[in-house]
Structure 1
Amino acid sequence: MKTQLSLLALAATIIITSCQKDEIQNYGTFDLNVETLSQESDTFLTIEQINTYIDKSFSEKGSFSWDDAPANVLWSAAVHGHELITVGYGGEGESFREAKSTRLENIQDDIVNVVSASEGLTKSAVKYIADDVLNVIDIQVTSLETIRTLRATPDIRYLEPNGYSFYELKPAQGPAVKSSSGCNFDGANLLAADYRTVAPNALVSWTFDRHNIEQAWSLSTGAGITVGVIDTGLSASQPKLGSEFTDGFSINSRTVQKYGTFIDSPWWWSNNYDGPNDKCGHGTSMAATIAAPRNDENMPVGVAYDSNLVSYRATEDVVLNDYHERKGVSDALKALGNRSDVKIISMSVGYPWSIGNVRDAVKYAYNRGKLIFAAGGTSLNFTNWYPVIFPASMSETVAVTGITDAMGYNQCDTCHDGSQIEFTVVMERDNDNGRTGVTLGFYDGDNDYVGGSSVATATTAGIAALVWAKHPSWSRTQVLNKLRQSADLYPYKDNNYGYGNIDANLAVQ
């Protein structure tokens, strides 16, 4: 359960929150300078010292990985994070298994045996959870020597303290700034300049016009394509994403499904699933941007208003700093990967550095042909110089960011850019109070504004659904290539903005 939040995150953000703190026994910590933190030692570190080490890595390398951390840093973070270590095992690149494997089962058994021997426990007393698809095991570790022994064990791909959730990425100067981490329940009164009304009385966001989305509807509305959204779920109070999903001109045969993989518990071994309903607001906004019906009630329509929707409440907010959020996203990716009807996955959530079990799950879904869109990152305007966040930083995902409506390409106030970005979406007024696109609100009858690289990602996923619906026999590669060819910078790829803005009308030709 989170109790402290850090740095504005309206999209897959780079900023991290803090969660409930453990009671840590006295391991005998010492005062250490920054240089000493990078050296191997037997010293148990405080949360402040661990975060100083992480800050140093970001400052010097522009990135952070637990693989590079001294064993005592990893051990200290694990102890602070409910004594949990996530172990990725198998050969290099062996993220998952397609069938039963005695070899992999033996490796997993070896890991449990190592922990049992090092911790002085019987094998039955070792607390662990083994994934049934990914080559990943979550296991309780209390000893520094156990960490060192595991690192020396063959066929270990990574060790990560997945329960550590106390890091706050700071701006270049000054203290961290607290925020709501992308959550919002309040509706908004829309200004007339920010939408147009189309039959049968639906509102089209001004941002759609920058990508010729309404023109594309004459050729495709997304019918027959199913989009999976991994986020904070769908509001039980927004019927346009429930019982009224086929309202207005949207086809009666389309469907919306809601699932939940997030567990609301301070204990990593809990199985207390918290259901599919949004308690943040972010997931509702993203799903609405993609697939809200072309309604007759003066409310915003989605990009692919005839597409099917599968929503997974995998996170509490947009920041994947909690073990159960990481596991929730991993489980949602596996579930969507296993569905033959799901073509596209949209993820407007993230974290500053790579998370092993999520990374493995992305590869699993990608291996099953899914076209995965991920947000490049959203934070405060004085921290948006940080790199593209994870999982948008992966080659298996398509990274998207937001820009303003100024001439040329102008980074939105809170959006990240970088070499991994594939596409941009116009989602912010440049000189008019920074207003963003319009979408459904959290409650019945409410409209709202939504911005950042989150909505840019959802918009792009919707455009992809339009293209795939027009060409249902196409592969993921063909759809992605068509999106690239329809973007206004193609064949040039800008180092910060990728292929730029997609022309949806051109893309569906």
Structure 2
Amino acid sequence: MKYRRQIIRLALAASFVVTLTGGLIGVSGLPAKADWVRDQQWHLRSLDVTNAHRLNRGAGITVAVVDSGVDAKHPDLFGKILQGIDLTGDTTSEGRGQNDLDGHGTAMAGLIAGGNPSSDKGVLGIAPDARILPVRVKVHGIDLGGTGLESGIRWAVAQGAQVLCIAMADSQSDESLRTAITDAISSNVVVVAGVGNRPMFDHAGFPAAYPGVLAAGGLDRKGNHASISVTSTAVVLSAPAVDIVSTDTGGGYRQGTGTSDATAIIAGAAALIRSRYPNMPAAEVVHRLTATAIDKGPPGRDDQYGYGALNLVAALTATVPPLPTQAPTAAVAPPPETDAGPARPRPLMILLAGCALLTITAAAAAIFYFRRA
């Protein structure tokens, strides 16, 4: 991913360093004081996180953050970061994924599991009792792609991660990556990935575009489709993705805009579901999240919102019928649209049409006969 610099204003903002990685525009170097942070996390109110946390906080769940590493020393993350792995070959890293020179992975970890619900200071994650498994596959916003990402996914699955947060996207498919994703899903892991941001992408990136992946789209502050979020048949579920405040390296905080943020938020939601329903298969977790989503845009699934906007409390409480035994792929992630050609008439329609034709023919014959008589 290429860098992009931009000045963003935030309360008490000081020096700014802006990077674009898998959809996060981050502000680093903000003061370490956490007093103002919670009020800036508007998505917590939008998702009714307070009531969701009365039901579950993600205990017992491990979420692998396949990213730039995680700053394990951040006060809002301290004690929540497991020993991970560093696949970048970066000699400056402290190893085990507990170091982050970019800040992106630290931001994702904060959105998933940061903070303490009993405190009103600092960042609060969607699943604050979950644990983060850092898998470092990129440095300074540049991901290794292909083999590096694939190896990170396989390693995380082998370590028992129940949810994968992959807040990055590639415009090109890679067969080894596709296989790693397929194997992860077959291993009962919920895989969440961002569809990518405009204008960098004009279609869903990979791995989000692979079948079975919970592909995350973005919402703005009003709950509408975020203009930065890619529109695609691959979109499964949408979550807040604009002006999202989270943790940063060095004990600081940053503000992000992009589908990376939506990815981490949805990964946190998946952790809550897996914690509340520990025996629920991964496919059913995705089904529960989509079945309880708030329908947006045209009725039913659409290319902007997927199945709708994330509804945390409903996902944790609603009665959701299980997936059919022979569930189509579209029940989890819609496949790309294809031209199926003209619709074929159904047998019943053919029978009715034939009966109508025979009736008309008989009536015409009768009229002709009686007129001649």
State the TM-score, normalized to the length of structure 1. 0.54
CA-CA distance at 1:217 after TM superposition: 0.6
Name 1:40's counterpart in structure 2: none
Q: Which amino acid is the alignment partner of residue 366 of structure 1?
A: I
**2:129 matches 1:306:** yes
Q: Which amino acid is the alignment partner of residue 311 of structure 1?
A: P
CA-CA distance at 1:11 after TM superposition: 4.5
C-alpha spacing 1:235/1:273, structure 2 compared with 1 (3 Å) = closer
Q: Which amino acid is the alignment partner of residue 68 of structure 2?
A: T
Output one character per residue of 1:72-126: Cα deviation in whole Å (capped at 9) or x when no partner.
xxxxxxxxxxxxxxxxxxxxxxxxxxxxxxxxxxxxxxxxxxxxxxxxxxxxxxx
Aligned residues: 299
CA-CA distance at 1:6 after TM superposition: 5.3
C-alpha spacing 1:390/1:214, structure 2 compared with 1 (3 Å) = same
Alpha carbons 2:66, 2:164 under 8 Å: kept: yes
CA distance in 2, matches of 1:319, 1:391: 16
Q: Which amino acid is the alignment partner of residue 256 of structure 1?
A: L
CA-CA distance at 1:326 after TM superposition: 3.1
Percent identity reads: 22
Where in structure 2 are the equivalents of 1:150-169 lying within 5 Å? Answer: none
Name 1:283's counterpart in structure 2: 105
Gaps of 5+ in 2: 6-18, 318-373
CA distance in 2, matches of 1:275, 1:182: 25
Q: Which amino acid is the alignment partner of residue 76 of structure 2?
A: K
Name 2:237's counterpart in structure 1: 423
Output one character per residue of 1:296-349: Cα deviation in whole Å (capped at 9) or x when no partner.
4821111100012111111124454xxx44322111111122233x21100001
Q: Which amino acid is the alignment partner of residue 411 of structure 1?
A: A
CA distance in 2, matches of 1:367, 1:348: 21
CA-CA distance at 1:385 after TM superposition: 6.3
Q: Which amino acid is the alignment partner of residue 86 of structure 2?
A: G
Q: Which amino acid is the alignment partner of residue 220 of structure 2?
A: T
Q: In terms of mean alpha carbon deviation, does 326-335 or 457-466 score higher?
A: 326-335
CA distance in 2, matches of 1:358, 1:273: 27
CA distance in 2, matches of 1:287, 1:192: 20
CA-CA distance at 1:195 after TM superposition: 3.8
Pairing partner for 1:395 from 206, 211, 222: 211
Name 2:154's counterpart in structure 1: 334
CA-CA distance at 1:215 after TM superposition: 1.1
SS of the residue 1:309 aligns to: strand
C-alpha spacing 1:10/1:258, structure 2 compared with 1 (3 Å) = same
Alpha carbons 1:231, 1:282 under 8 Å: kept: yes
Pairing partner for 2:43 from 192, 207, 218: 207
Q: Highest CA radius of gyration, 1 or 2?
A: 2
**2:230 matches 1:410:** no
C-alpha spacing 1:350/1:188, structure 2 compared with 1 (3 Å) = farther
C-alpha spacing 1:417/1:186, structure 2 compared with 1 (3 Å) = farther
CA distance in 2, matches of 1:325, 1:353: 10
C-alpha spacing 1:222/1:471, structure 2 compared with 1 (3 Å) = same
Alpha carbons 1:234, 1:258 under 8 Å: kept: no
SS of the residue 1:443 aligns to: helix
SS of the residue 2:240 aligns to: strand
C-alpha spacing 1:378/1:484, structure 2 compared with 1 (3 Å) = same
Gaps of 5+ in 1: 14-180, 197-203, 246-254, 266-271, 429-435
Where in structure 2 are the equivalents of 1:29-428 lying within 5 Å? Answer: 185-187=28-30, 195-196=38-39, 205-243=41-79, 245=80, 256-264=82-90, 276=97, 277-294=99-116, 296=119, 298-320=121-143, 324-340=144-160, 342-379=161-198, 383=199, 386-406=202-222, 409-412=224-227, 414-428=228-242
Name 2:244's counterpart in structure 1: 437
CA-CA distance at 1:360 after TM superposition: 2.1
- RMSD between aligned residues: 2.9
Alpha carbons 1:261, 1:274 under 8 Å: kept: no
C-alpha spacing 1:192/1:402, structure 2 compared with 1 (3 Å) = farther
Alpha carbons 1:241, 1:256 under 8 Å: kept: no
CA distance in 1, matches of 2:281, 2:159: 16
CA-CA distance at 1:467 after TM superposition: 1.1
Output one character per residue of 1:419-470: Cα deviation in whole Å (capped at 9) or x when no partner.
1011111232xxxxxxx122122122x2321221001000000011111111
CA distance in 1, matches of 2:31, 2:170: 28
CA distance in 2, matches of 1:305, 1:289: 9
CA distance in 2, matches of 1:375, 1:362: 14
Q: Which amino acid is the alignment partner of residue 10 of structure 1?
A: L
CA distance in 1, matches of 2:201, 2:158: 36
